[in-house]
Copies of this chain bind each other. A is one copy, B any other.
């Protein structure tokens, strides 16, 4: 195994660049639409989705972070911004005085309900409709393969 296999060749590098750059453009488009349609960022949407599905529309901060796969610090900063806008509230936790509960505020629930249809429509228009059925399947498999490979590292 000499140096030959160490570095990607021109074609592989091209696919790599196309792949991430396209992913980024796509992501920007979707977040841009969400933003202009509803004034929410994808982060807002993620948080509001999790809270909407939670019992009592409330979650312990750590559980929320774990549920959406965020670091606690990131969540804390984001909740601060969302709280300022009246989308959520923070309450003290009855059973653990260290803890905090995040509660969906009325404005947050309304914003989320208003956002979901346009957002899903954007996903269909910009992603699903762009691909053939086979490509959609392949996209799923590629994502799974990459993820599995990443977790093996």
Contact = CB atoms under 8 A, between A and B. Distances in A.
Contacts of A120: 7-8, 13
Contact of A144 (B18, B29, B149, B150): B18
A22 interface: yes
Contact of A135 (B18, B127, B145, B150): B145
Interface string A127-153: 111111001111111111111111001
21 contacts: A6-B121, A7-B117, A8-B123, A12-B136, A15-B136, A16-B127, A16-B128, A18-B140, A18-B147, A19-B23, A19-B143, A20-B26, A24-B27, A29-B153, A129-B149, A130-B148, A130-B150, A132-B145, A135-B142, A139-B142, A142-B142
